[in-house]
Structure 1
Amino acid sequence: MKPLDYPLLADENIHRDVVRALLARGKDVRSVLDEGWAAETMSTCSATHIVRAESS
């Protein structure tokens, strides 16, 4: 099993350059910063609400 063979979600502690480098290598990776899900933007809602909204 190779971890980079699976989709990745990078939290706000992973530098955007790292995410961009992985994307350039063809890896399936998303960043909470790029998606607007970083802790700073979530002050009025919880991660549970985001997951529920996406699964609807």
Structure 2
Amino acid sequence: MHGLFLFKTGFGGALIHRLGSFDAVLNGAVYGAYRAAENARAFYHKKLMKKIRGR
């Protein structure tokens, strides 16, 4: 992200540190389904699409 930092500060941007985010689990079953869907999406984009595109 160093290139992005240089680009943004070149236009007068300032470096601001913020806290990260976290997931608050309210319903374990729903959250489990959400995590499974996220893992399936990540697998599709990171593994399958790279093979399909020949990268």
Which TM bucket (shorter chain)?
under 0.3
Q: Which of structures 1 and 2 has the bigger CA Rg? A: 2
Structure 1 length normalisation: TM-score?
A: 0.24
Choose between structure 1 and 2 for higher RCO, CA contacts under 8 A separated by at least 6 residues: 1
Structure 2 length normalisation: TM-score?
A: 0.25
Structure richer in strand, relative to its length? 1
